[in-house]
Structure 1
Amino acid sequence: MARHSLDLPSSTKATDSQTPKEPPVTWSSLPHKSQLLILAACRLSEPLSNTCLLPYLYYLIRSLDTGDGKDGHKSSNSSISRRAGLLVAAFALAQFATSMIWARLADRYGRKVVIVYPLLASIIANLGFGFGTTIPRVMFWRLIAGVANGNIGVMRTMTAEIVKERKYQSRAFLLLPLVFNSGNIAGLALGGLLATPTKSLPWLFGGVKWMEKYPFALPTMVNAMVLSFALILAIGGLKETLPSKIGQRDLGLELGRRFTRLILRLRAHGYQTLNDDEESKTELSSFSSSRQPAPATPGVISPPVTLKTKAIAVTLAGFTFLPFHNAAFMQLFPIFMSTPFNKNNANHEAHGLFFTGGLGYDSSTVGLYLSAFGCSGIFLQMFIYPTLQAKFGTLKIFQFAFVMFPLSYILTPYVLLLEGPTARGTAIAFVLFLQVIARTLAIPSSVILLTNAAPSPKLLGTLHGIGNMLSSLARAVGPALGGWISAKGMEIGMVGCVWWTYLTVIAVLGVMVSWKMEEGKSPHERVQSLRRKEDD
């Protein structure tokens, strides 16, 4: 009997050694790809709504009825910077005010309804913004768009509920940031190319009266069209993931299935499908079986269900510091590129810290610059990030990315002191590339770290709701404060003031916080680990 017990470990070890190694995780191996893709399409709402205006923000504010002065005097560069900060902040401020409301509604009424209705509101807000002709009107529609996009935490929670296994986490949680980056690129390109179309594309839109009256409406109309397609996908294809709502009747899914069968029958006569009831039951059982939590084992000690821990507080701080400076950069950099160039800089009349002006690019050049370098972020997220994350871990990548931000911010203003447009263009490409790499690595890492900080799957939605609320507050305060400091810097002849003080200081504080963060297990794995210990 004793001999048998001694032989058991070696037998087990032999069995383990013969166990085939699991194949590497790829994009094609992700579970529930159709649900993730529909969720990704809905995720386009925020970047398209939020970044489309950035390439023409300087020209938009200059063209609006701002009430500055008399006799049609133009706004100064400092007042444009200040108003730009407030306009960008309005979107994030509305997100901050409503993110927890959306999270609670999602926990009560389901995830899908909190995706669909805000998406419809976002479409309306885009159209309203494009046809706004005064600061109060565009500010109002920016607030509505922010309210409609306060549900990002719900989307992240859905991702965690769709994909629970840790081995798929890296790519699953990478998908939403990947789409976010893609939406940023598309929004920047659309804003740059389609703003003032009668001037930028006269061969196509020359002489169109309504475009002359509303020169910034076309890019927002295209946004609305893209989001309308995402809305149709969400209504007809997105499945509920809230456990208490799974299995309930969904009229949108029924209509989606019938429409899909109709299209297939039109393409191929005699196509045979399951009847409505059989297909509905088959799809529902396959989806809900993977969504339902494992039955609780008697005697299992539940993990601590509290968010009041030091590890969570530090993780939330790191999660918040990132948008605090990144959102300000996204607002300040296009203004910096659009502000007229000061020839005194090139004539060496500027010295030390006191010089001003910008690069003097038009909106199409700004849009192409930002979207082109955003493409490098897409490449990094798809092909480089998963490899780095598997080799070095999420936290190490997050910390490395945070170190790159201050370097980019310190160098940016000095671009203006270089002689010649080629030298300045090359330098601005370098600092922009640094920032793009940093945020490409940091954004998905921050989401994964926040998810793994949750002590229990039950608190995952609440934690992401808190994270989204703090992130939205940072994206509201950051651009507003950055715009105000930038305006003060321009008034004293120091364009680098906001870059060397506010952005760099916040980025350095973020580096310090990242050193105190920890990389934990996913909440689902934590629960499974406790159950295995109890079974042993």
Structure 2
Amino acid sequence: MHAAPTNHPRHDAQLHLNHIDANSRGSTCPGADRDGAITSSTKDDGSHPSTPPLAPGLDITRHGRTSSDSPFDDSDDDDDAEDTDAVIDSSNEKPVTWASLPKKGQLAILTFARLSEPLTQTSLQAYLFYQLKSFDPSLPDSTISTQAGIMQGSFTAAQFLTAVWWGRLADAEWMGRKRVLLIGLLGTCISCLGFGFSRSFAAAAVNVGVMRTMISEIIEEKKYQSRAFLLLPMCFNIGVIVGPIIGGSLADPINSYPHLFGSGSFFGGKDGVWWMERWPFALPNILNAIFTFTAFFAILFGLDETHEIARYRSDWGRQVGRTLARFFSRRRVPGHYRRLRNLEDNESLCMDGSVTSRSAPSSPIRLQALPRHKRLGFRQIWTPNVLLTLLVHFLLAFHTSAFNAMTFVFLPTPRAPENSRQGFFHFGGGLGLPSSRVGLATAIIGVIGLPLQIFVYPQIQSRLGTLTSFRTFLPFSPLAYTLMPFLVIIPRYPWLVWPAFTVVVGLQVISRTFALPAAIILVNNCVTDPSILGTVHGVAQSIASAARTLGPFIGGWGLGLGLKNNLVGGIWWALALEALVGWLLLWTIYEGKGIETRKDRREGAQEG
């Protein structure tokens, strides 16, 4: 019998069974599925450098034991057991739900780390203008606005310059995904503190650039699809809601809470808290640094390496994490073998290492490790579909970032005089909202986005598919951009302005909810080889960063030009045209089959 290979999530070796003997030699005790496929690895002979030295036999107690729900433990919410069940009986497929996501512990750790970017960025936006003003109070507001634009540009510019190299490092065998994440989180933590304690614009700009550089690689490891990919934009909406609250409430605490930190206060004593007076914007950055440092330890102790070669490297952090998980769970791991779940009665596992089956003829077990593949060069990566997919990714990042930047300039801009309108399309001004109302508008974006991402997107995406849902909902963006400037001609009654604003912004949020994860999935699935996954994502991140650098700059410049010439809608309609071009390009690309499918095909070819 020629058995189908089984890919255990902990090992990357292909095992072949040819006619298992009922009483074959008992050097190991691997588990067998219904087709006779081995579910573990035997002892490595050291003949291949990419294959790790494996312990004899299979520690199958992981598949049958009850363990802690901690993400630091091996169980990962019984993820390995779920994987084994999927191999043993693939006919009993269940609908994909949030609860059925594999490796929920690993996803939770990645999401926790990923949340550090939107929290840091949106928290910074809440007080950036006032911090820059504190560096030199004599500067006019126009200069402060220019500095704020440079500061925001340094985020994406640094990411644009370095994301490819972070991706290359993530693909390197000596580095791997996890080490890159750890370096990024540690650097982000340090730069957060550096920015909070900055005393000049130059120092703040350098620290923000480093912060974005280090944050950029956090999203390199995008290995899950559908709901899992949705976790990344969900983090943005959470950050949009929570970040401004953290930044606005904790910035300049002596003036905000004089009874707690000022002179004669509870914490300040006679003269107040001296370091808060010297660095009034350090407190929110300290909190962000603590959050990021916590994520660093979560990655160190709880995250598994996923690089195809580096995953076999000894990881002392995970060993400590497993020890801590066992200690706090207060459960002893059984020291004996157990039957795999759903294993048929005519198969049994033996302590002496043999696999017995009444129906299996005899033949020795043959182990063949997967060969190491040479990493492709840059020129071998760029197929037409990859290039078009990256172009779509660029256009999407451009108009979404431009919309965000333009909206929060458009909202507080004073309304134009009534007699300034010269036609249906020839008008100027903004909505004239106070700063408190601008914060409410920010919260609306997050409040609309979260329920859509959690409840609506997974259902529709599972029915329509990634590319079809992308094509269906992206047109909502150009529609929103077309309607946005017409809000200024609505009378300034709150019962008219806010519903209209919510509808227009809701259209863009709906479009973004489906477009952003779809763009990530399409980039992920157009990769031709697993060894270049981090590189391609690094290039995609650099392209998106370039778009997010150009989008706010061009959008702000065009909005200012429109306000000056009483044609505020011009830049919005140009943005709608750009989004429409991106939608047309969606009909020229196709969704790749993904790395996992290609792995299976390669293994099938080797087996044959």
TM-score of Structure 1 vs Structure 2, range by shorter chain: 0.7 to 0.9
- In structure 2, the CA distance between the partners of 1:20 and 1:262, relative to structure 1 (3 Å rule), is closer
Q: Report if the CA contact (8 A) 1:385-1:441 is conserved.
A: yes
Give the partner amino acid of 2:591: E
Report Cα offsets for 1:353-404 as digits up to 9, x if no partner: 3422443321x54334323431321221222111111211111211233211
Residue 410 of structure 2 corresponds to 336
Summarize the alignment of residues 75-224 of structure 1 with structure 2, pairs less than 5 Å apart. 75-76=141-142, 82-108=146-172, 109-156=175-222, 160=223, 169-195=225-251, 214-224=279-289
When residues 198 and 414 of structure 1 are mapped into structure 2, their CA distance, relative to the original with a 3 A threshold, is: farther
Q: 1:434 to 1:514 in 2, by over 3 A?
A: same
* 1:328 Cα deviation from its structure 2 partner: 2.1
1:38 aligns with 2:128: no
* CA contact 1:197–1:205 (8 Å) conserved in 2: yes
State how far apart, in whole Å, the 1-side matches of 2:599 and 2:590 are: 18
What secondary structure does 1:35 align onto? helix
Please tell me whether the aligned partners of residues 81 and 486 of structure 1 are also in contact (alpha carbons under 8 angstroms).
no
Matched to 1:512, the amino acid is: L
Give the Cα–Cα distance (whole angstroms) in 2 for the partners of residues 498 and 203 of structure 1: 47
Aligned equivalents of 1:323 and 1:360: distance in 2?
Answer: 27
- Would the aligned equivalents of 2:114 and 2:232 in 1 still touch at CA under 8 Å? yes
Cα distance in 1, alignment partners of residues 141 and 468 from structure 2: 45
Matched, 1:50 2:50: no
Q: Measure how far apart 1:413 and its partner are.
A: 2.5
- The CA distance in 2 between the partners of 1:356 and 1:147, in whole Å, is 36
Partner in structure 2 of residue 410 of structure 1: 482
Q: Which amino acid aligns with 2:321?
A: G
From the superposition, tell whether residues 111 and 527 of structure 1 become closer, same or farther in structure 2 (CA, over 3 Å).
Answer: closer
Aligned residues between the structures: 470
Instruction: Please give the secondary structure, in 1, of the residue aligned with 2:411.
Output: helix
2:94 alignment partner in structure 1: 23
Q: Partner letter of residue 166 of structure 2? A: W
Q: Using a 3 Å threshold, how does the CA distance of structure 1 residues 19 and 381 change in structure 2: closer, same or farther?
A: closer
**Residue 311 of structure 1 pairs with residue 377 of structure 2:** no
RMSD: 3.3
Find the aligned partners of 2:282 and 2:244 in 1 and give their Cα distance.
14
Which runs of structure 2 are paired with 1:236-251 in the superposition (5 Å)? 236-251=301-316
1:424 and 1:62 map into 2 onto residues whose CA distance is 32
What residue in structure 2 maps to residue 384 of structure 1?
456
CA distance in 2 between counterparts of 1:390 and 1:25 reads 8
In the alignment, is the contact (CA less than 8 A) between 2:171 and 2:535 conserved in 1? Answer: no
**Partner residue of 1:445?**
518
Tell me the residue number matched to 1:464: 537
**What SS does structure 2 have at the residue aligned with 1:448?**
helix
Distance in 2 of aligned mates of 1:19 and 1:150: 37
Match of 2:551 in 1: 478
Percent identity over paired residues: 37
Partner-residue secondary structure (3-state), 2:216? coil
- The alpha carbon displacement at 1:457 in A equals 2.4
Q: Which has the higher contact order (CA 8 A, sep 6+)?
A: 1
Paired residue for 1:232? 297
Aligned mates of 1:142, 1:472 — CA distance in 2: 15
Cα distance in 2 between the residues matched to 1:133 and 1:498: 36
Counterparts in 2 of 1:129 and 1:488: CA distance versus 1, 3 Å: farther
The answer to whether residue 581 in structure 2 is matched with residue 525 in structure 1 is no
Q: Which amino acid aligns with 1:87?
A: M
CA distance in 2 between partners of 1:141 and 1:425 (Å)? 37
Give the Cα separation in 2 of the matches to 1:498 and 1:192: 30
Choose 55-64 or 465-474, whichever is displaced more.
55-64
Structure 1 CA distance, aligned partners of 2:430 and 2:253? 27
Residues 237 and 445 of structure 2 are in contact (CA less than 8 Å); yes or no, is this contact kept in structure 1?
A: no
Distance 1:367 1:116 in 2: 33
Matches of 1:411 and 1:90, distance apart in 2: 31
Amino acid of the structure 2 residue aligned with 1:471: A
| Letter of the 1:96 counterpart | F
* Cα drift, residue 63 of structure 1: 5.3
Q: 1:435-458: per-residue Cα shift (whole Å, max 9, x none)?
A: 211111111111111111112323
Q: Which has the higher helix share?
A: 1
Which is worse superposed, 50-59 or 143-152? Answer: 50-59
Partners of 1:531 and 1:217 in 2: CA distance: 54
> Which residue is equivalent to 1:272?
332
Give runs of aligned pairs for residues 424-439 of structure 1, distance below 5 A.
Answer: 424-439=497-512
Partner amino acid for 2:447? C
1:255 aligns with 2:255: no
Residue identity opposite 1:322 in structure 2: L
Residue identity in the other structure for 1:107: D
Give 1:151 deviation, angstroms.
0.6
Residue pair 2:182, 2:299 contacting (<8 A) in 1 also? yes
Looking at CA atoms only, which structure, 1 or 2, has the larger radius of gyration?
Answer: 2
CA distance in 2, matches of 1:361, 1:192: 15
8 Å Cα contact 2:156/2:548 also seen in 1: yes
